[in-house]
Amino acid sequence: MDKLANPAPGFQRNPDKAIAVEPYRGSVIVRVGDTVVARSTRAKVLSEPPYAHAFYIPFDDIDFSKLAATEHSTHCPYKGDASYWSVREAGEVGENAMWAYETPFDEMAEIRNHGAFYTSKVRVEAEPG
């Protein structure tokens, strides 16, 4: 295997950790009330047991005019540093509702330029294709 330029320290410490990223065969719509924040037929589904799966939607399919970048950030030893956006229309409930790994570790490069949403803050509708 080629040496990675930006390896994930989590995978180096725990090489048996299972995180799968696969294309979602269908459509995903993210809504706040009647407002569509994102709509995609190119979403990816990330599975990382024991956590619930998450849909990662390409930036091109997200309406960033309905979002506001925040100062909030988190770090995952497997994925990297996450940036956050709030959904303007959702008010306080929508704070930090979307996250993205803009420069993920090499092993998670598939989710670069994709955003994921907390289902507790917005409605994520997935229809199989």
| DSSP letter, residue 90 | G
Q: What is the CATH number of the domain that holds 14?
A: 2.170.150.40
Report yes or no on 1 lying in a domain. Answer: no
The average pLDDT across 64-80 equals 98
Beta bridge partners of 45: 22, 55
Could you tell me if 126 and 44 are in contact, meaning their C-beta atoms sit under 8 angstroms apart? Answer: no
- DSSP 3-state percent helix, strand, coil across the chain (nearest 5): 20, 45, 35
Instruction: Report the domain count for the chain.
Output: 1
Q: Is residue 115 part of a domain?
A: yes
Task: Indicate whether this model's pTM tops 0.85.
Answer: yes
Instruction: Tell me if 79 is assigned to some domain.
Output: yes
Domain residues for the domain of 119 are 9-128
101 is a domain residue:
yes
Give 2-59 pLDDT, tens digit per residue: 567 888 999 999 999 999 999 999 999 999 999 999 999 999 999 999 999 999 999 9
